[in-house]
Amino acid sequence: MTTTFERQSVTSTTQGGLNDRSLGWLRFLWDKATTDDDWSDQGEPHQWWDRYSEPPMCSFPRFDLAMVGYVLPMMLEATPAWREGYTRILDEIARRYVTFWGAIDWNTLIGPDPGVDKYPPEWLMVAPEHLRGRYSLPGWTGNGIEPWGLQPDPVGCDGNLFYRGWLNLLLSMRHYVSGQPTQHVAFDVSGYQNRQFSWTHQRIAQFISDQLTARPQGAHCENTKIWPFCMSAAGLGLKLYDSLLHTSLNEPFLDWIAFAKKHYMGRDRRGRIDWVALYYDPIENATMAFPGPLNAYSALCLLHYLYPQDPQLAIDLYESATRQLGWSNPKVPVVQLADDPQMLSNALWMAREIGDTTTWERLRAVSESQFEPRYFGKDNSRFAYWLDRGESWPRGQLNATMMMIECAAPGAWSRVFTSPNTTMYTEPTVCDIDYPLIGIRRTHNDIERRVLEIDTYAATPSRRGTATTFTVDNLPDRAHVSLHIDGRACETWRRSDAGAVAIDVGADTHQIRLTYS
Amino acid sequence: MADAALRTLLWLLGQCIARGSRYMPSLRSQITRTMTFELSAGERVARHWVFDAQLRRATTYSGHASAPDCAVHINSSWQALRALVSPVTVDKIVRGLHEGTVELHGSAFVLLWFHGLTRKFVKLGRPDGPRHRIPGAYIAHDPAACGAETIVIEPAVVRLDPTWTGAWKARSTLSTVRACTDEPMLEP
């Protein structure tokens, strides 16, 4: 395994397609998603699912599931005509999400936290100063405590917003990527003592929205903490749901933003944000905010979720955070106060989004030199940031955000939520492709000229050249078709249906041009 | 002059924390690891604290520790004094880190934890947060807050079902549980 920089210089674009890093990460995502493992109470997830990062609040494998798919709707900008591979990955993620291990915190961290005075000092720092040593830390969900009682359904409960909020976001992304309106399809969620609870995507989204309407402070995650971070993710899931289904479930979240600006953050005399709550406990009436510049971390974790919903607030938070940490100041070195690469990756992503080249270049230099970007696996066909820690697998949560930088042009993440490309569902589409034998780097539908362009590559280099077949459907019925591969006219296609053709090709780098009329 | 003043301040903080660890539950409950913390300034002032997790006690000594788990060195006693008596101590320390006048060996979170201990005795400034009670608290279940859904609620419990052995086994692998056993863990 070697560190490889020469294969990478620019990030993905719609015109150029997915870059090598994105393709390598996609290949590893495929491995993770399609390799069977047991997420029941009798098993244990494969160790490559990240249940280590961001303790104590995010060190559960669900957070890997929740975040790892973010790149997939963004990748659609480069490959709008190939979606089935991404859909398969999201299906495998969603299948795990609703298992015992998906909700292991709500299902097993029952009752009062027995470790309040046993956690390491570093962890005690995420409790409000006056409560340290006698207060349940973030991550201890405390299902079963008074006054809430035992609520066995991980979705249908007063707390646990971070479960259903990200589930809704995941299902909304799955809807967008697949184009399949499955919001009324019932599925089971595994709860306390393995009891199964039936839900639909529509009911979850409506339930979240109703809770936000009734609870202006926001819904709880752990008993009893309200996190701007989780609220923002829940709001984002609702926003995508609204964009796809023309509902207005996100509206109460916008009201919550107004509430949060007033109660969960403060500004200095110059109007700059100078503190943000990490969380608020309504029973203790306690706000957790890191002191001094470390407070920036509470702001950085919100950026991905708020930027598509309230761009100006996200920019204010970003500017506040990078100023406090000195990351935007070229006169001082980039100091990472916390041993938490995810915060730097969040800032790096935002710097790129808003064109803050000074901060981008400073932070990018850090990520390239310290986050150990490298290809790995058979034929070096997988890619991830390894963090130079000698671990067996790359961290899912960090890579989920770092790869958002690699996989699409700036603005792609916001466009997923504000202007999703729903016309792609009716345009010519690549399907039945034998991924990962052959992969898709780029597709482009030129509707006016009636041309579908497809750039392929050998996703499994050791099988390069192997003959394979894929289909293009959504073509006009009985369309006249001509095929060019690498600039040469080809007859290696046949009509497989009235509106579909099958194309034979070798698994390799090809530029395929399908003209139909 | 600054050296003497800083020595006195550190001695005072040292005694407060050490004596407080004998009888203050809110301080003892935070001594969860056996570790050494050192604070030094210039070339002549240093003090360290030894925290004993078994006894939940702290002791303090003048001078450098042989192998501190977390050590902060500030360029001058004057700078250290200004930082320690400021209501924005953390801001000043971080500014020093940026300017290269403060060196930190170890976790910034441990430094903040120690700073929190000192604030039990000398509380300068106040934690960030709203200066008012936040309205609209939801502190008891309300069926009207669930839209068309009904939440299943059973009597409160204090621990995971003892007979659910699979869940106990799975839970034991979680960082949240392992962190209480003194196993080294990642920072937040």
The count of other CB atoms within 10 Å of the CB of residue A164 is: 26
Which residues in B lie closer than 8 A to residue A139 (C-beta atoms)?
Answer: 175-176
Instruction: Give the chain B residue whose CA is nearest to the CA of A296.
Output: B91
Q: Does A87 touch chain B (CB under 8 A)?
A: no
List Cα–Cα distances, A70 to A169, A414, A417, B111, in angstroms.
9, 11, 12, 35
- Give percent above pLDDT 70 in chain A: 98
Q: Does B110 touch chain A (CB under 8 A)?
A: yes
Burial code (b: 16+ CB inside 10 Å, e: under 16) for A264-276 equals bbbeeeeeebbbb
Q: Tell whether the model's pLDDT for residue A7 goes beyond 50.
A: no
Look over chain A and give the mean of its residue pLDDT values, rounded to a whole number: 96
List Cα–Cα distances, A19 to A336, A344, A457, B60, in angstroms.
28, 22, 11, 56
Q: pTM score > 0.90 for this model?
A: yes
Which residues in B lie closer than 8 A to residue A210 (C-beta atoms)?
Answer: 145-149
In chain B, at which residue ranges do the beta strands (DSSP E only) sit?
A: 35-41, 45-52, 57-62, 70-74, 102-105
Q: Does B116 touch chain A (CB under 8 A)?
A: yes
Torsion A89-A94-A95-A100 (CA) sign: positive
Give the confidence band of B125 by pLDDT, cuts at 50, 70, 90: confident
Task: Give the pLDDT score at A2.
Answer: 35
Task: Give the pLDDT score at A9.
Answer: 54
pLDDT for B1-24, tens place per residue? 899 999 999 999 999 999 999 999
pLDDT for A423-440, tens place per residue? 999 999 999 999 999 999
Interface of A with B in 272-301 (CB under 8 A): 274-275, 277, 280, 282-283, 285, 287, 289-295
Q: Does A216 touch chain B (CB under 8 A)?
A: yes
Q: Tell whether the model's pLDDT for residue A5 goes beyond 80.
A: no
Identify any residues that bridge with A444 across adjacent strands, giving them in sequence order.
A453
Do residues A355 and A410 lie in contact, with contact meaning Cβ atoms separated by under 8 Å?
yes
Q: Does A181 touch chain B (CB under 8 A)?
A: no
ipTM for this model = 0.96
Q: What one-character DSSP code corresponds to residue A137?
A: P
Which residues in A lie closer than 8 A to residue B52 (C-beta atoms)?
Answer: none
pLDDT for A236-267, tens place per residue? 999 999 999 999 999 999 999 999 999 999 99
Q: Which of A158, A263, A290 shows the shortest C-beta gap to B130?
A: A263
Q: Does B183 touch chain A (CB under 8 A)?
A: no
Which residues in A lie closer than 8 A to residue B151 (C-beta atoms)?
Answer: 151, 153, 156-158
Interface of A with B in 395-424 (CB under 8 A): none
Identify any residues that bridge with A382 across adjacent strands, giving them in sequence order.
A376
pLDDT for A132-161, tens place per residue? 999 999 999 999 999 999 999 999 999 999
State mean pLDDT over A466-493.
97
Q: Does B67 touch chain A (CB under 8 A)?
A: no
Q: Does A129 touch chain B (CB under 8 A)?
A: yes
Token pair of A466 as six digits: 């192997």
Q: Does A46 touch chain B (CB under 8 A)?
A: no
State mean pLDDT over B56-65.
98
